[in-house]
Amino acid sequence: MIYLVTWAIAALAELAAIAAARADPDAVDKAAQWVDYTLRRIPLDVGESRNPGERLWYGDVLGVYYSVDDRAMTVRIQSVAPARRPRA
């Protein structure tokens, strides 16, 4: 089963800001691709359950807050943030 993954406009703007602030923006792009790939396949098997239908997943580079509609087989990425604080 493959889910349809959509990104909220605010999440895309957050992603762009994270990439712009990093010394290696390609790492952010690769992390976003991995998030998208994984959520298409196993959205309920990663992250932690929050409100009904909503999940929070921290990867190595990104933290992602998303909702899953299992009946419609859709995932909506609502927000994204750095998974770790930048080192000083």
Q: What is the CATH number of the domain that holds 34?
A: 3.30.2310.20
pTM higher than the cut 0.95: no
Domain contains 37 = yes
Residue 54 backbone dihedrals phi, psi, to 5 degrees: -115, 150
* E strand or H helix at 34: helix 25-41
Domain contains 60 = yes
Domain contains 88 = no
Report the number of distinct structural domains present in the chain. 1
Q: Kindly report, residue by residue over 9-47, the tens digit of the pLDDT.
A: 999 999 999 999 999 999 999 999 999 999 999 999 999
| DSSP SS3 for 85 | coil
pLDDT value, residue 85: 63
User: What is the residue range of 8's domain?
Assistant: 4-82
Domain contains 65 = yes
Strand ranges inside 8-82, DSSP E: 48-49, 54-58, 62-69, 74-82
Domain contains 15 = yes
- Average pLDDT score over the chain: 93
Domain contains 87 = no
Domain contains 21 = yes
